[in-house]
């Protein structure tokens, strides 16, 4: 990807190393404890007859995975994509459309979801990354809306009414018709996704992507093809989000073009920003907080969107670094 091969030290000096919840050992323990609770509590709820909490947790995990993929390009690469939910919708439809035609194998669905999402990211990213700033934001949203209207026009697959998935993906070795198994599969995907992002952003490739966010001109001066690096990161994020969409489609057993609307992309961005951009675990915290607050407020009033929006705006304005930053400051002063 580059003609020259400068040492990693040349870019380390101006790229901030990523963290979980700060650099402290305590922060790592909190991260591990939170992940354990995210695994254990839904299972306890299921075995005690509270099936709602297992379903709710599965949805949280699927959207956390999507938020983690967005954070790869937003938090570490500085690419503010307002069309990331398109990959969720594409991934979900790559489960629903084959299932509609009688092809129910998960060994087809999941690779297809990742492959088509990666291809869409490659084609659209090749154009989007020629722009910067507000133009990049608008063109990513435009491509997502194009995908939205494409699936909206496919009457055979439900169009605006959506498409029901009558049987979840068949994986032979595991039965994801079982809600516990589906939850564990989604959790494993999330944990793998977080680890993959950790390895990516700490590699030479990841340092270049982070360097592009800090000072792209300097990265070019060092001999790196910044366009190729950023496009590769964009494709990886798209493939990950496509997998999240496939899992979400299986969980919901119903898909519609609304899954890829610009408002859904906005929600993903809020999750990342609320949790803390540029941290490995922030998107998960943000997704949990976002969905839990949404669920609580909607139980009290049908007009929950107004106070919810105000809370989100206040959190972005006054909680520097999101929830991860808040926890990190608490650990430093504790």
Q: Which residue has the tokens 């869409």?
A: 120
Determine the Cα–Cα distance for residues 28 and 215; give it in Å rounded to an integer. Answer: 29
Determine the Cα–Cα distance for residues 47 and 192; give it in Å rounded to an integer. Answer: 25
Identify the pLDDT of residue 117: 97
What DSSP string describes 251-315? HHSEE-GGGGSHHHHHHHHHHHHHH-TT-SSHHHHHHHHHHHHHHHHHHH-TTTHHHHHHHHHHH
Helix (H, G, I), strand (E, B) or coil at 163: strand
Confidence of residue 2 (pLDDT cuts 50, 70, 90): very low
Determine the Cα–Cα distance for residues 280 and 262; give it in Å rounded to an integer. Answer: 24
Is 229's pLDDT higher than 90? yes
pLDDT, tens only, 86-123:
999 999 999 999 999 999 999 999 999 999 999 999 99
Determine the Cα–Cα distance for residues 203 and 40; give it in Å rounded to an integer. Answer: 32
Is 169's pLDDT higher than 70? yes
Mean pLDDT across the chain, nearest whole number?
Answer: 88
Q: 255 forms bridges with which residues in the sheet? A: 163
pLDDT, tens only, 278-319:
888 899 999 999 999 899 888 887 888 888 888 888 887 888
Determine the Cα–Cα distance for residues 76 and 210; give it in Å rounded to an integer. Answer: 5
Determine the Cα–Cα distance for residues 105 and 298; give it in Å rounded to an integer. Answer: 37
Identify the pLDDT of residue 26: 67
Helix %, strand %, coil % of the chain (to 5): 75, 0, 25
Identify the pLDDT of residue 3: 44
CATH code of 9-333, in short, is 1.10.3470
User: Residue 115 gets which letter from DSSP?
Assistant: H
Question: Do the Cβ atoms of 4 and 222 come closer than 8 Å?
Answer: yes
Distances (CA, A) of 14 to 204, 219, 258, 277: 13, 10, 40, 17
Say whether pTM exceeds 0.75. yes
% of the chain with per-residue pLDDT over 70:
91
């Amino acid at each position: 990807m580059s003609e020259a091969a400068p040492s990693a030290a040349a870019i380390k000096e101006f790229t901030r190393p990523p963290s979980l919840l700060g650099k402290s050992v305590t922060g790592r323990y909190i991260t591990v404890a939170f992940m354990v609770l995210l695994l254990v509590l839904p299972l306890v709820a299921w075995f005690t007859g509270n099936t709602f909490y297992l379903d709710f947790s599965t949805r949280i995990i699927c959207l956390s995975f999507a938020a983690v993929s967005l954070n790869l390009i937003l938090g570490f690469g500085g690419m503010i994509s307002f069309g990331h939910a398109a990959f969720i919708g594409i991934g979900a439809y790559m489960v629903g459309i084959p299932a509609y035609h009688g092809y129910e194998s998960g060994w087809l669905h999941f690779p297809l979801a990742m492959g088509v999402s990666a291809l869409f990211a490659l084609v659209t990213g090749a154009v989007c990354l020629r722009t910067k700033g507000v133009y990049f934001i608008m063109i990513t949203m435009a491509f997502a809306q194009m995908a939205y209207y494409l699936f909206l026009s496919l009457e055979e697959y439900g169009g605006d009414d959506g498409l029901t998935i009558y049987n979840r993906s068949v994986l032979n070795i595991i039965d994801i018709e079982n809600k516990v198994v589906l939850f564990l599969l989604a959790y494993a995907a999330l944990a793998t996704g977080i680890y993959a992002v950790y390895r990516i952003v700490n590699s030479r490739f990841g340092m270049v992507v982070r360097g592009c966010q800090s000072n792209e001109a300097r990265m070019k001066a060092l001999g790196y093809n910044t366009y190729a690096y950023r496009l590769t990161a964009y494709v990886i994020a798209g493939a990950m989000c496509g997998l999240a969409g496939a899992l979400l489609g299986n969980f919901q057993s119903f898909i519609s073009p609304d899954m890829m609307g610009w408002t859904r992309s906005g929600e993903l961005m809020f999750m990342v920003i609320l949790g803390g951009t540029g941290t490995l675990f922030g998107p998960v915290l943000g997704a949990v907080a976002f969905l839990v607050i949404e669920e609580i407020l909607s139980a009290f009033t049908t007009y929950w969107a107004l106070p919810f929006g105000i809370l989100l705006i206040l959190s972005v304005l006054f909680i520097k670094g999101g929830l991860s930053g808040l926890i990190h400051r608490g650990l430093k002063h504790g």
